[in-house]
Amino acid sequence: MKILILICLISSISSTIDKFVIHSIDDCWTNERNITISDTYGVLISFSPTLADRIDPCSIHISNPWSSDIQNGLAVYFPHTMDCSSTITVDCLPGSALLHQTTPTSIQFKCRMNSSDTIMPCSSISLTSKRNTSHTGSRRVVDIQVIALAKEPCTNKDKFFQCSKDYPRSCIARKLRCNGQTECPSGDDEYRCENSYGEGYVPLGLIILLILGFMFVACIVSTVLICCFCRAACHAIIRRFHPSKKQKLFQKGDITVISGEEAGLMKGLTASSVVDALPQQHTEPTSLIIDSTKPVYPRLP
């Protein structure tokens, strides 16, 4: 379980898409808290369903981080169908209209509406969530995807990526390609991601899994080795203070186990001592009897 939580945490940190969850009054824009999201090329805004109980309406300001000479507006679309519990209004902030562009009118997204390709031709926009008082059912989180667009040409492949079916004459940041979050409504930015960086590219997620797998195997091996060492140490202590049954029998019979060479030496010593201990039997020499009636012939050599 801890490994899964770690993987999710690392994946969320390594993602290049920023996510802002609006769940309190402190997250909403006010004159006192002039909070503007201005340092991200792709952001997912999530309005909490409990937000309307605390503040209504609630606005968020977002600006395009591209330089002013290549800005081409901000794209807005909903990954899911609009919830009926609230209404989302998209406005260009005053004075943010791009050069040679007229300030567009605000766009409202209501119950069961969806947006796949809405471009606001301005450098900064505001998203305002307002509760639908006529709705009596349950409420859910409202997700809004905002992408910063740059002008063509998108020839610098290290900096730009162009959605072939979305955002005409516009580019998005290259780092939004294959980041696990769809920035192009058609899904072009997440298509064939395994080959998008050429041969030899290893995804970050795979590297993380390999590292975690190596750490897991290392933990198992070290645990087994420690258990084996502890078991051997415990057996040695037990044998030291609690001799086995065989050793107890040897001790009771006063039997000492010796090697073969020592046994032979002990046998020789024991035999010689037994001979020395036996009493010596002295025999009297027999007398020589010579029969004079028989001739004695000398023995010839």
Token pair 């406005």 in the structure block, residue: 91
Residue 90 has pLDDT above 80, yes or no: yes
Closest C-alpha among 177, 182, 186 to residue 157 = 177
- Tell me the H-state helices in the chain: 2-14, 204-241, 245-252, 260-277
The single-letter DSSP state of residue 201 is: -
pLDDT for position 63: 93
pLDDT for position 226: 93
The rounded distance, in Å, linking the Cα atoms of 124 and 145 is 15
pLDDT for position 1: 43
The rounded distance, in Å, linking the Cα atoms of 128 and 134 is 18
**Mean pLDDT value across residues 124-131:** 89
The rounded distance, in Å, linking the Cα atoms of 115 and 89 is 12
pTM: 0.58
The angle at the Cα of 247, spanning 243 to 253, to the nearest 5 degrees, equals: 135
pLDDT for position 270: 54
- Highest mean pLDDT of the ranges 44-48, 52-56, 78-82: 44-48
Amino acid at 44: L
- Decide: 189 and 172 in contact? Cβ < 8 Å: yes
Mean pLDDT of all residues belonging to the chain: 75
Q: What is the pLDDT of residues 157-187, one digit of tens each?
A: 899 999 888 888 899 999 999 888 888 888 8
**Residue 106, both tokens:** 């605000």
The secondary structure element, H or E, covering residue 74 is strand 71-77
Q: What is the pLDDT of residues 241-271, one digit of tens each?
A: 776 555 555 555 544 555 555 555 555 555 5
The rounded distance, in Å, linking the Cα atoms of 83 and 273 is 112
The rounded distance, in Å, linking the Cα atoms of 94 and 123 is 10
- Decide: 62 and 37 in contact? Cβ < 8 Å: yes
pLDDT for position 97: 86
